[in-house]
Structures are given as C-alpha cells and as structure tokens.
Amino acid sequence: MEEVFENLIKGFIDNKIGITENFISHGLAEHLKQSILSLQEENLLLPAGTGNAEKLNHNTAIRSDTIYWLDKNHNDPYENEFLTTIETFIKYLNLHCYAGISDYEFHYSIYKKGSYYIKHLDQFKNDSHRAYSMISYLNTDWHEEDGGELLVQLENKQQKIAPTQGKTVLFKSNELPHEVLLTHKTRLSVTGWLKKS
C-alpha cells in the first residue's frame, strides 16, 4: 500500500490534487458498491445537506445526492475494512508529512441520474477541522457521456476527473473549489474528510 499512498501524496504535493488507482481493491470496491445499493433499497440513505449540525440546510438546487455515514459500530466488515485503510493512510500521512490528522469522517454517496453538486469548498464557515477531502469512486463502465465528473478549480485552470472505480482523490478541504457535474446515470462513491483537532 505504501506505493499507492506515495502516489496519492506526490500528486497532491505536485498539483494540489492527488489521484491514485487501487487505494481500495477491486474486491472491496465491489462489496462497498453492493452495500450502498442495499442501503438504497432499504431506504436508509438520507438527502445530503450543506453546513454542519448547527447550520444544516437541505437545498436540492445546491446538491441532490443522498448519503449514509460510515461507522465502525455498524459492524459491517467492508465498511470496517475501508475505514481501517483510511486509518493506515492517516498514520502514513502523519509520519511522512507531519499532517497532524487526528480524526476522520466518511459517508456513502449516491447521485441518481440528473443529480449534481454546485461549486463549493469542503470546509464549514464555523468549523475548520476538515483538513483534507478524499473521494473513492465505485463506478465500473463509466464513459464520458455519463457525466458526473468532479470538476476542480485550480489556480489558472480546471481539472475534470472521471468517477471511475478504483480511483481515489485527495485535496485540501479549504483550498480548491469543486463541483460534481450533472450525472446521466447513477454515480457511487465513498466521500469524506481527514480532520485536525
């Protein structure tokens, strides 16, 4: 895993956005995909909002995905395997980059056909604990005409990232405005944040 971690970190250092393949294995990605689809069938996903608990706002003109928070207390082996991978990455990041990460939070996210999330930053106005944003995608057979790309605004250019299975993205939560473009078919991911105290 160290090579995968290094690729993610190097891309972040060089370009302000790290992208790597195989952060999660194909097998784990398939299990996570089945988990999120089962949760959807059981109507356990909730409409996503903006802001935190103090200022939570549900506005489908801003974002129209649904989410389900991951938690080791669910005792789901695949959620736990994913979160253990995140914990291993945090230890590596803290050891080699002195990142000071002390916590994390992740959720499943489903964008149904016709969904999107307009341009935003991933840090709350009243809470600066989120340091890095991470997204792992769970979409096989994804093509350009399917839309749903992550569009990131860099200093003098934009970068469009296809949400293909196995791809993981890392960037600073308070630096890069980004959006999820209109998706033309169901788009799945595990999205979250590495947090400082």
pLDDT of residue 197: 86
pLDDT of residue 112: 95
* Distance, CA of 147 to CA of 12 (rounded, Å): 24
Alpha carbon of residue 115 to chain centroid: 16
pLDDT of residue 25: 94
The per-residue pLDDT for range 176-193, each reduced to its tens digit, is 999 999 999 999 999 999
The per-residue pLDDT for range 31-49, each reduced to its tens digit, is 999 999 999 999 999 988 6
Average pLDDT over residues 157-165: 95
Check pLDDT > 70 for residue 52.
Answer: no
By the 10 Å C-beta count (0-12 exposed, 13-18 middle, 19+ buried), 77 is classed as exposed
Mean pLDDT across the chain, nearest whole number? 91
170: which 2 tokens? 């890392």
List helix spans (H) across the chain: 2-15, 26-41, 77-97
Residues 6 or more apart from 43 whose CB is under 8 A from it? none
Residues 6 or more apart from 8 whose CB is under 8 A from it? 18, 19, 20, 23, 89, 168, 170
pLDDT of residue 19: 97
Check pLDDT > 70 for residue 88.
Answer: yes
pLDDT of residue 134: 97
Check pLDDT > 90 for residue 56.
Answer: no
pLDDT of residue 121: 87
pLDDT of residue 29: 96
The per-residue pLDDT for range 106-155, each reduced to its tens digit, is 999 999 999 999 998 887 666 678 999 999 999 999 999 999 999 999 98
Instruction: Give this prediction's pTM.
Output: 0.91
DSSP percent split of the chain into helix, strand, coil, nearest 5: 30, 35, 35
